[in-house]
Amino acid sequence: MLLDQTQAIEAAHQRRRDGERWGPRTLDLDLLLYADRVVQTDRLQIPHPEMTQRAFVLLPLAEIAPAGLVIPGAGSLQALLQRISSDGLRKL
C-alpha cells in the first residue's frame, strides 16, 4: 500500500512515531489527494482531513495543481484559497 511505502521512506530518514503527536520531526510525508477518490480506513483518510485549513498545504498545491482542481468533499482549490490567510508564510 502507498501509505506503507511513504512510512518506509520516513523511517529510512529516522522518522520516529513515538514522540508527541504534533511535535517536530525529521520528515513528514502526507498523502493529500489520490485523483478524485475518497479513502476512509483506520489508518488513512484521503483527502487529508486537515489540508483544507492549512495555507502551507494549499498554497504550494495551487502551484502544481491542474486548473479547476476540486478537492472531494471540500470544493474547488480556488475557493478554499480565498478563505485562508497566508499571514506568516513565506516562499523559500
Mind telling me the catalytic residues?
15, 25, 28, 30
The residue among 39, 58, 57, 59 whose CA lies nearest residue 47 is 39
- Kindly report the length of the chain: 92
CA atoms within 13 A on the CB side of 29: 14
What's the DSSP call for residue 51?
Answer: G
Residue for grid cell 490567510? 85
The beta strand positions in the chain, using DSSP E, are 39-40, 45-46, 70-71, 75-76
